[in-house]
Amino acid sequence: MACKDGSKVTQVIATPGQGPDRPQEVSYTDTKVIGNGSFGVVYQARLVDTSEMVAIKRVLQDKRFKNRELQIMRRLDHCNIVKLKFFFYTSGDKVCLDLVCGYCFIKPQNLLLDPNSGVLKLCDFGSAKHLVRGEPNVSYICSRYYRAPELIFGATDYTTMIGILATIYIDFYVYL
């Protein structure tokens, strides 16, 4: 299928990020790679129905690792966190998360700033986990340069303060 301007349109059956699990047809076009990381590739696209620009994160589901990003993104609703609009599965056990773009991975690359509105949003919850007191966690988490000292020394019992420290590191990074 193609748009009036001849650009390729991709159609998928996707489930809304929030609300009822009623799959619907979603069409997007103008797809281009805008970033990649250890666990996936991020594409920019435009929704055909609304002309809204979105990001599509394609994540390879490795059965050796637990990917909580989808379940966490479905629960999050905050003006400074990207919204999960839809998600869909493709062949090869990949999950694609469709995020509107204008937690243990707090780093400058995961902060999105809209230059027109000045709104800052946090994205990339691929390493996020709901912390439970007394339940052990992995210590090799977070980006190297933004890692809290307790993680460097192998702590497995930590709190959300590791994210606060990462934010402080980013403040220094921005002001230097």
The pLDDT value recorded for residue 99 is 44
Q: How far apart are CA 11 and CA 106, in angstroms?
A: 32
Q: Would you list which residues are annotated within the binding site?
A: 57
- Residue 96 has phi, psi (to 5 degrees) of -110, 125
Q: Would you list which residues are annotated within the binding site for ATP?
A: 57
The pLDDT value recorded for residue 102 is 32
* 48 confidence band (pLDDT: 50, 70, 90): very high
- In tens, the pLDDT along 133-163 reads 777 776 666 666 667 777 778 777 777 677 6
The pLDDT value recorded for residue 146 is 67
The predicted model scores a pTM of 0.67
Q: How far apart are CA 144 and CA 146, in angstroms?
A: 6
Whether the per-residue pLDDT at 40 is higher than 50: the answer is yes
What average pLDDT score do residues 29-42 get?
82
Whether the per-residue pLDDT at 73 is higher than 70: the answer is yes
Residue with tokens 């699990």: 21
Q: How far apart are CA 18 and CA 24, in angstroms?
A: 13
Q: How far apart are CA 23 and CA 72, in angstroms?
A: 19
Side chain identity at residue 141, one-letter code: I
Q: How far apart are CA 25 and CA 45, in angstroms?
A: 16
Q: How far apart are CA 104 and CA 84, in angstroms?
A: 18
Domains and CATH numbers, the chain: 1-103+122-128 (3.30.200.20)
